A = this chain, B = another copy of it.
Amino acid sequence: MFNHAPSNYKCPICLGVTGIENEDTLLKKGDLVYKDESTSVFINSFFIGKNEGHLMVVPNSHYEHIFDVPPTILHNIMDTAKKMAGIMKKVYECEGITLLQNNEPAGGQHAFHFHLHVFPRYTDDKIYDHMTNKRLATPEERKKYADKIMEYLSSIKPL
């Protein structure tokens, strides 16, 4: 229902979750900052205005949009998003968090695998002025943010 991906769709997010780097995905292994049984989190390939390094929480299995995601997986995605929001507050030193989740092309969905954006927010960041004006960040720019999160996550792991 409400599906738009072509039948031969090479899902860029499925490739990222699997850890495959090729010409069908912008995701690199270095963008993955968190993975559990049902969800993964990546540094988004695109940077938006002053809100650089925002995260994308995805289900590991392929579901096109919110209408396709089973309830339990949707719950897991939100649990992961909340966890990541707390981590971003600490390591990005941001002043707020915005969650954004687009469904269908008219809704601004470009990759046809459910993804929830988690944005760091800063006072007067004018995020909406840049939403349609995103820029592809280099893997090195993304790694700077991935490193912050990975460093924090490894610091809280039990010895």
Contact = CB atoms under 8 A, between A and B. Distances in A.
Contacts of A5: none
Contacts of A78: 74-75, 78
A73 to B, nearest CB: 10
A128 B100 CA distance: 12
Nearest to A100: B100
A19 interface: no
Interface residues of A, number: 40
B132 A128 contact: yes
A99 B97 contact: no
A96 B108 CA distance: 8
Residue among A86, A104, A116, A125 with max Cβ neighbours from chain B (10 Å): A104
A109 B26 CA distance: 32
B86 A79 contact: no
A156 interface: no
A61 interface: no
B102 A98 contact: yes
Interface of A: 2, 66-67, 69, 71, 74-75, 78-79, 81-82, 85-86, 89, 94-109, 116, 121-123, 125, 127-129, 131-132
